[in-house]
Structure 1
Amino acid sequence: MQQVVGTAENITHWKLAEEQRRAANRTLAEQNDLFRQVIDTTPHLVYLKDGDGNYLLANQATADLYSLSVEEVVQTNVSQLPISPDDMARYLRADRQVMTSQRELIMEETFTRPNGEVVWFNSIKRPFQLADGTTRVLGVDSNITALKETQQALRQAKEAAEENARAKQDFLANMSHEIRTPMTGILGLAGLLQKTPLDERQSQYLDHIQHSADQLLVIINDILAMAQLGAGKVRLETTNFDLRQVLVASRQLLLPKAAEKGICLELELPPAEVSTLVSGDPYRLRQVLLNLLSNAVKFTDQGQVLLTCRRLSNPQEPLVFEFAVLDSGIGIPAHQLEYVFDSFTQATASTAREYGGSGLGLSISRGLVELMGGSITVESRLHEGSAFRVTLPFAQAQAPLPLSTPLAAPVGYYSLGPRRILLAEDNAVNQVLVNAQLGTWGCQVDIASNGREALQLFHHHRYDAVLMDIQMPGLDGVATARLLREHPDAARAATPIIALTAHALPGEAERYQAAGFDGYVSKPFQEEELFQTLVRLLTPPNTLVAEESAPVYSLAGIRRLAHGNEEFISRLIRVFVETTPPIVQELESALQQQNWPALSATAHHLKSSFAGLHMHPVLDIVRRLESIKPGTDHDLAEINSLVQQVRTVTDQVIAQLRRELPD
């Protein structure tokens, strides 16, 4: 009988473990396969390298970059791959920096293909710790070549646009000069001709010439203003000023045009107790108001135009004022309202034909208002009128303005006395024009046709001032001015130099000032503008009105109306001399009785008389007196000072006017 002895061992747990290992291996294989599919599917370069540049892992995108298989890349050193020496050196430096610093590095890298094509990558490299404790570099590179090409295209487009803008600016500057130079001659010679005896028909022809030239000049200025705004070259000034003065001056400029059309141009100022002393840019505000008022007067054939101003903010809040221009004109169709602020736009084609204009005024106004941090809106009904409202913020004036500007009168109006002036101007018409104007003011004029001639004359003679055209052949005005400032005689080197230029683009005034100019007059200039610039530079500082000095007034407006009719001028002067003193007495009497309505009404009466003689300093005073309202607190000392100034200046003006009258 045989017996079998056997042993049995339970290996279930081994089998289970083996199955688990096989399952784990399958899972790991699946994960590795998934990982490989993921990294091979992504368009980004994914790789693992050591510090010597050996690839330990690479995806398909990395292999494709080198035009190799993944197997060919892995375990291969970068020095054995088709990489330029410069690229390889950069890669190794970056890899070693990551391993040394143990910090992530984000950078842009380039790869140059054998055909010279450059591929851009945004590379993220970070340290990667293996199980054995060694550190490797894990990299993910994103191809940003398309982005770089787009950026390059944008840069080129930007440079082309900037070059185009510069070309446009140069073109506008040249056109400004080419148009303004003959315009200076036309307007200037027309002004000189107006001072000569003319019959009625000749006066009409001359008026048409001046009106047409003025219209052309407005269009030129509008186009240049739009170019400045479009180029972002408009610079705002910040100065203390009184809104009331800007409002009054703006209305004053449009009054003749409104009167010519038979419409009323009214002004509604803030109450006297509301301070209108602000800090901002009075010139740009005035430009906006004049654009709006000019349009309102142009498109209103009957009724009135009203300019108003009111403060919107509380006394404790930042200063915000609303300016409104209301008219009873032709109005704007509802479907056109959203386009009125667009460039070269008018309500209808028939409007453009009937009323003219460039269609730029409102677009310029909107640009300036937005530049000043404000807003502009319009409401209108066809055949009923329009309302334009401008809201602007201002800063508080840093210092109170003086009650009135000291009246400087170094010389009689339109008389500079025996002054010697050097005129550097290459245009023959402008030479005749400026020489004639300066001659009527008592000046001796030496003329140079270019910069070299100006330097020679300046070194041989002493001059009270130099008028310098900017664009002259050879040595231009800027270079000539710099050389004049280098004269060894310090007093002569400090001779006032005034730029005369047809260029009107942004930055020109700053360039002239940096070159040593003391003043700047843009062509075509008004006779009074040139005169006042010379007076300012030839007058000693802090010159006040002397007892026997000529008062500040002008007969220019009356002379324009008279067209050379001296009898008419004398008659108007006599009316002023005879009727004004009693009105001033009424003003003084109203003050003594503290009759504020009478004081305001009398000041209003005086205002029109003073405006006719361009008595601007005292005009500001009577406007302040006119604004005084009953029922409010009044500073009697201040009002008394204002009335006394009216009396003093009026007496001086009348004394001068008596000398103007024939015996």
Structure 2
Amino acid sequence: MEIQALEESAEELYEHAPCGYISTLPNGTIVKVNQTFLKWTGYSREELLGGKRFQDLLAVGAKIFHETHYAPLLQMQGAVEEINFELVSKSGRPLPVLANTVQKKDEAGKVLLHRTTVFNISDRKTYERELVLARKKAEEAAKAKADFLSMMSHEIRTPMNAIIGLSNLLGQTALSSQQHKYLQILQTSSENLLNLLNNILDFSKIEAGKVSLEEKRFNVRQLIYGIFHGLNVKAEEKGLAVRVEIDEQVPAWLMGDPVKLGQILTNLLGNAIKFTEEGSVTLAARVREATPEAISVDFHVSDTGIGIAPDRLAHVFEEFSQASYDINLKYGGTGLGLTICQKLLEMYGSTMKVESELGRGTTFSFPLRLKRAQGEEESTGPAEYLSDSQILRGVRVLVAEDNSVNVFVVSQFLRKWGIDFEVVENGHQALEKLQQRTYELVLMDLQMPVLSGYEATYTLRNLPDERFRRLPILALTASARPGLEERVDLAGFTDYVGKPFKPDELFAKIAQYVTLPAPPPSPKPLPEEKREPPTAAVDEALPPPRFSFEKFRAMAEGDTQGLLELSTLALGNTEQCKHDFQQALEERDAEAFEFHAHRMKMTLELLQTHALWAALQKGRSLLTNGTWTPDRSHAAVHAIHQELDALIAALKEEVRTVSACLPPVSEPLARPQPVQHP
């Protein structure tokens, strides 16, 4: 009786288990099924055991999967697990299930049966649909938030552009001491408001996943000292000592994202100065580990300021959180700066740590692993032009802007720099003007009536005239919408300038994209009897050279023999690169062209060969933008050779002139000793 009761209990467990059980022949014919499976599908036992196959219960897509994947896999492995099928019940209602099947074989290895366990996953599918729907709603909410912040950014930045621009202009007028004080307060408040806006937008971009790390060559020492000089003014106003300590083993040139690293260090150093009333602030960079390919640097920012209470240390990296309510009242801020820094470091696989003692100071630190940069040092770009505010005099610029206040601000600066400019109010007028007159650069607002800046630029780039594809077009935008860079690039803009802009930033952008005329050479006066005039052939065949020997001669520091050596080396390199550039262009070898340009960059920067750099840039664009043709390549080679020939002729004249200034060989020269810098 006990054995019989046990067998009945086992049968009951089989019939009413929380999962379905079916047994089928190798061809899929169902030979046994439990009550749970019958309940789910709505069939009677007689209906299923009367010749129905398991695959007959499957939806169309599941039947295909059964034949192409399930059956072959079961035959090969002898078992399959967690296969997702969709059954069709007797009423036609779909039933999502997970099936686990194992083969039952006899002693000879012949397959007798397939035993399948079926789990009903209807609830799980419902949860998955709810999760997908919730995710979709969250993404829509995030997009709505990003759109709202973008719209508010544009609305706020437009009047901010006027406030900051007019403040700069007002500072250039005669003011009383009291007016100057009011102006300083206005400028400080404007900068604080702009920083607040930028922090909120940066946080929004990071949250939306629209921020990525770049990897480009940068001078880390230059970056650190630039941040130091930018913030040291505020420290001096408070009487604080700011120290920069850079380990000698830290290489000058590394690969990374200087903008993101600069943002982190600027935030930390700015906070340290902000929360320190007396004492000092230190920014240090020390090598943790170095290999031939990469280097790990520990960055520390320490201060002797107010410190952070122990119970608040764990919360300083939380968004919209500050060390205390009193700090917010006294110092202001959003509590987003450290959160943004931490999230940027997470993108590098790093994290920030904080150590602090209330009333005695705070230290923020983080490690960063960066690749070493290869090759020679690069110049810092267009900043070299900023020392001469009239270098842009005569440059022809078209301004497309519909906001009268913005037009006034931009016009004041362009007029000050001697730029020949015209203003139009919409993209349609801009297209008409550009086809009527030649301009060297366009400042194009994105949001304008009649025809937007996007539409006008896209239309212009598709006109048949080649000059419209080469024309530099800078977008003027007060928007900070995630993905703006991609949209601007797709429309055909060369670059963009954010509003409100600083005068130096706008100046540098214009200087970067126009071909600047170099000042004429101004050689040092030499005795008439030692001058040798250049040959008539050179004078008649070549245009006036567009370069300057001023920096070149300054490098020699009055050493005539050194200047001769420098000139001779430059002459040899310049003659060689004529062939190198031509070969790279004719063979469409962009990598070789870039290598030769990089190798010559220091020499050409010293000689201020702006026209040659412009010709090289056009050659580079043929190789990188997919616009290479034999005719264009020939024209680019001709333009490069024309500038190089002028430079070579001038270098030969320089060598002859300097040689004539040297004393006879019998009179030994007293070469000046190099200065030993600590």
Which category describes the TM-score, using the shorter chain as reference length? 0.7 to 0.9
In structure 2, distance between residues paired with 1:388 and 1:312: 16
1:58 aligned to 2:24?
no
Residue pairs, 1:43-442, within 5 angstroms:
43-50=18-25, 54-67=29-42, 70=45, 72-73=46-47, 75-78=49-52, 97=71, 104=79, 107-113=83-89, 117-128=93-104, 135-271=112-248, 274-314=250-290, 318-401=294-377, 409=385, 412-442=388-418
1:174 deviates by 1.1
* Stretch moving more, 82-91 or 235-244: 82-91
Does the Cα contact within 8 Å between 1:99 and 1:135 map onto a contact in 2?
Answer: no
Alignment partners' CA distance in 1, 2:518 and 2:259: 26
TM (norm. structure 1) is 0.72
Structure 1 residue 129 displacement after superposition:
5.0
| Structure 1: gaps of 5 or more residues | 1-22, 550-583, 590-616, 619-636, 644-663
Counterpart-to-counterpart distance in 1, 2:213 and 2:315 = 26
Which residue pairs with 1:634 in the alignment?
none
Q: What fraction of aligned residue pairs are identical, expressed as a percent?
A: 32
Residues 588, 66 of structure 1: alpha-carbon distance in 2 compared, 3 angstrom cutoff: same
C-alpha separation between the residues in 1 aligned to 2:417 and 2:358?
51
Is contact 1:297–1:305 with CA below 8 Å preserved after alignment? yes
Partner of 2:17: 42
Aligned length: 533
SS at match of 2:289: coil
Q: Structure 2 vs 1, CA of residues 405 and 639 (structure 1 numbering), >3 Å: closer, same or farther?
A: farther
Residues 89-98 or 311-320, more deviating: 89-98
Q: 1:406 to 1:474 in 2, by over 3 A?
A: closer
The CA deviation string for residues 549-568 of structure 1, in whole angstroms up to 9 with x for no partner, is 9xxxxxxxxxxxxxxxxxxx
Q: Write the distance in 2 (CA, Å) between the matches of 1:528 and 1:57.
A: 84
For 1:222 and 1:368, locate their aligned partners in 2 and report how far apart those are by CA, in whole Å. Answer: 13
Bigger relative CO (Cα 8 Å, ≥ 6 apart): 1
Shift of 1:69: 5.1
The residue identity in structure 2 corresponding to 1:77 is G
Specify the SS of the correspondent of 1:268: strand
- Specify whether residues 588 and 346 from structure 1 end up closer, same or farther in structure 2 by C-alpha distance, changes over 3 A only: farther
Per-residue Cα deviation, 1:76-99 (whole angstroms, up to 9, x for no partner):
233999969859967996899469
Question: Could you tell me how far apart the structure 2 residues matched to 1:88 and 1:518 are?
Answer: 53
Q: Which amino acid aligns with 2:164?
A: L
Structure 2 unaligned regions, length at least 5: 524-553, 560-604, 607-670
Amino acid at match of 2:141: N
Asked if 1:470 corresponds to 2:442, the answer is: no
Quote the residue 2:585 is aligned against: none
Q: Deviation of residue 315 (structure 1)?
A: 5.1
CA deviations 1:365-409 (Å, max 9, x no partner) are: 111122222221111111111111121111121224259989855
TM-score under structure 2 length normalisation: 0.71
Distance 2:230 2:265 in 1: 11
- Give the aligned residue type for 1:177: H
Whether the 8 Å contact between 2:400 and 2:423 is mirrored in structure 1 is yes
Aligned-residue offset at 1:349: 1.0
Change (3 A) 1:184 1:312: same
Cα distance 1:462–1:338, how it changes in 2: closer, same or farther (>3 A)?
same
SS of corresponding position for 2:352: strand
Distance 2:490 2:338 in 1: 33
SS at match of 2:236: helix
Letter in 1 for 2:485: A
Query: Are the structure 2 counterparts of residues 257 and 115 from structure 1 closer, same or farther at C-alpha, using a change threshold of 3 Å?
Result: farther
Structure 2: distance between partners of 1:118 and 1:403: 68
Distance 2:251 2:55 in 1: 80
Offset, 1:548: 5.0
Distance 2:342 2:30 in 1: 63
TM superposition shift of 1:256:
1.2
Q: Structure 2 vs 1, CA of residues 266 and 427 (structure 1 numbering), >3 Å: closer, same or farther?
A: same
Higher-Rg structure is: 1
Show the counterpart of 2:657: none
1:490 maps to 466
Distance 1:354 1:274, change over 3 A: closer
**Cα distance change on mapping 1:425 and 1:161 into 2, 3 Å:** same
Q: For 2:61 and 2:215, how far apart are their aligned partners in 1? A: 55
Residue 109 of structure 1 deviates from its aligned partner by: 2.0
Contact 2:62/2:86, CA 8 A, preserved across alignment: no
Seen in structure 2, the aligned counterparts of structure 1 residues 404 and 440 have a Cα distance that, compared at 3 Å, is: closer
CA RMSD of aligned residues (A): 3.8
Partner of 2:573: none
Q: Secondary structure at the match of 1:36?
A: helix
Shift of 1:479: 2.0
Distance 1:95 1:420 in 2: 69
Distance 1:156 1:275, change over 3 A: same
- 2:630 alignment counterpart: none
The 3 A distance-change label for structure 1 pair 638 and 206 is farther
